[in-house]
Amino acid sequence: MTSANSQSMKPATVAKKLGIYLPATPQEFQDSVISRADFAELQANPPEWLAELRRNGPHPVRWSRRSSTSPSAAWPAAALKKR
């Protein structure tokens, strides 16, 4: 990873954009500042740790929410009406 400059991102931002859980990343990644070029390289050629995280997790909470059933699908429409 590179040093901080005007075209860099924090690890939390990069993790969010990559769809990975930041605390599960290597410490080196968490402590670095990532340039836009490094970010593009991570997307194009992910290292093994990134590929593993994407495959097996742990995944950010927002992924878990996407897979759950919405209340409108889980309950009959009549049960959702206010009385």
Q: What is the pLDDT of residues 16-72, one digit of tens each?
A: 999 899 999 999 999 999 999 999 999 999 999 999 998 888 877 654 445 554 444
pLDDT for position 64: 45
Report how far Cα 76 is from the mean position of its chain's Cα atoms: 33
Residue 12 has pLDDT above 60, yes or no: yes
Average of per-residue pLDDT across 71-76: 48
Reported pTM: 0.64
pLDDT for position 74: 46
pLDDT for position 63: 46
**What is the b/e burial string over 38-55, where b = at least 16 CB atoms within 10 angstroms of the residue's CB?**
bbeebeeeeeeebeebee
Rg (CA), the chain: 18
Residue 5 has pLDDT above 90, yes or no: no
For the chain, the structural domain boundaries read 8-68
pLDDT for position 72: 47
Let me know the angle formed at the C-alpha of 32 by 27 and 35, rounded to the nearest 5 degrees: 140
